[in-house]
């Protein structure tokens, strides 16, 4: 099957920024920060896949279990003749769970920022689902997107698993949901959201004893060294990921273990001993607090599924 990658047209770009630009600006700021979307180069994506396998990281396996358990019900809510649009498609592992059950999904539009990876995984999907209309698109899901209509105008449903929504502050998350709703042109959204829970459980998920999450965090510096010729010493920084209970989020930092300077090209950045670089927020919601957020973004929250331990949730939202 031939499914060429199309580059999407963005109507509103929350300014496209290079890793070099983000890094230079973020390290010049106080407090220092690096945007979490830069975790996912080839090495970082592989480390993230390893995180998903960790016994402490319950999110991925719980969400996949929920999708499998409720795929029939989800399919029924989506209706007939559906085009599923996945925001930030990645490995395409989760959509297979839906496709295996939901025969009403006739078309699948995976959207991802990385064209190389998308091309490979889409080819594999095409051979496993020969009847599926596949329309991979390269684009940034944080933007408002003009997704051309498919022939026959199938009803659109969005798919945004993995609790990636947690990487955004609640106001930004509401804005993102609003843009997704507009990009879908109405239609529903199936979204995975990690839940608030015992802080010890959250802490364990981001501080695995095998040190994979630390490597994932420090990969930002390894990547800067490789791609930008920076001279970070990753061993001179500590992975620090506490749960901030009043803000309902895990905050991830790289903390300088000594006073040191790092050069990136002609720029020098000074770190005090103990100085943090903020690298990620991972917001957690209650089922109710997420439904309120969705309503703020113009969705009517409909069905919600959770596991026995209430670790993770999957929500079906409909456009109002
Ligand atoms: C991919 C954003 C859902 O926040 O749990 C895993 C990324 N960071 N371990 C998350 C992540 C540290 C992950 N998300």
User: pLDDT digit string (tens) for 101-125?
Assistant: 988 999 999 998 777 778 888 999 9
The residue whose CA has the least distance to atom 5 of ligand 1 is: 282
- Extract the tokens encoding 35: 């945007």
Is 180:147 a contact under the CB 8 Å cutoff?
no
Gap between the Cα atoms of 122 and 266, Å rounded: 40
**Ligand 1 center–CA 39 separation, angstroms:** 10
**Whole-number Å distance between alpha carbons of 30 and 27:** 8
Q: Please give the residue that has the higher pLDDT: either 134 or 16.
A: 134
Residue nearest to atom 13 of ligand 1 (CA): 164
- Centre of ligand 1 to C-alpha 59, Å, is 9
Distance 174 CA to ligand 1 centre (A): 19
- Mutate which of 57, 142, 220, 282 for ligand 1 pocket (most atoms within 8 A of beta carbon): 282
pLDDT in tens, 20-72: 999 999 999 999 999 999 998 889 989 999 999 999 999 999 999 999 999 99
Give the percent of the chain with pLDDT over 70. 96
pLDDT band at 1 (very low <50, low <70, confident <90, very high): very low
Q: Which residues have any ligand 1 atom within 6 Å of their CB?
A: 51, 59, 162-164, 166-167, 206, 213, 280, 282
Residue 50 CA to ligand 1 center (angstroms) comes to 12
For residue 153, the cross-strand partners are none
How far apart CA 118 and CA 245 sit, in angstroms, is: 36
Q: Does residue 12 register a pLDDT over 70?
A: no
- Residue 11 and residue 110: Cα distance in Å, rounded? 18
Confidence tier at 301 by pLDDT (50, 70, 90): very high
What whole-number percentage of the chain has pLDDT above 90?
84
């Amino acid at each position: 099957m031939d499914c060429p990658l199309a580059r999407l047209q963005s109507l509103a770009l929350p300014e496209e920024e290079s890793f070099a630009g983000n890094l230079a600006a973020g390290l010049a700021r106080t407090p220092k920060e690096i945007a979490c979307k830069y975790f996912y180069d080839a090495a970082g994506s592989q480390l993230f896949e390893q995180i998903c396998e960790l016994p402490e990281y319950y999110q991925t396996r719980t969400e996949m279990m929920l999708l499998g358990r409720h795929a029939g019900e989800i399919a029924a809510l989506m209706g007939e003749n559906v085009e599923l649009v996945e925001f930030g498609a990645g490995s395409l592992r989760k959509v297979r769970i839906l496709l295996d059950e939901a025969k009403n999904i006739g078309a699948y539009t995976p959207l991802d920022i990385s064209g190389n990876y998308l091309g490979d995984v889409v080819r594999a999907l095409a051979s496993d689902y020969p009847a599926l209309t596949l329309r991979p698109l390269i684009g940034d899901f944080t933007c408002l997107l003009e997704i051309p209509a498919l022939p026959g105008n199938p009803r659109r449903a969005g798919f945004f698993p993995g609790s990636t929504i947690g990487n955004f502050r609640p106001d930004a998350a509401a804005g993102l949901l609003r843009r997704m709703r507009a990009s879908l042109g109405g239609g529903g959204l199936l979204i995975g959201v990690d839940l608030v829970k015992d802080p010890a459980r959250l802490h364990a998920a981001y501080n695995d004893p095998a040190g994979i999450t630390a490597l994932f965090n420090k990969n930002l510096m390894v990547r800067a060294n490789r791609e930008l010729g920076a001279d970070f010493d990753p061993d001179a920084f500590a992975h620090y990921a506490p749960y901030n209970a009043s803000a309902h989020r895990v905050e991830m930092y790289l903390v300088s273990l000594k006073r040191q300077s790092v050069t990136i090209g002609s720029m020098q950045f000074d770190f005090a001993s103990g100085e943090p670089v903020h690298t990620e927020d991972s917001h957690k919601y209650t089922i109710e607090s997420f439904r309120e957020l969705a309503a703020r973004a113009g969705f009517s929250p409909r069905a919600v599924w959770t596991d026995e331990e209430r670790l993770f949730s999957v929500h079906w939202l409909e456009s109002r």
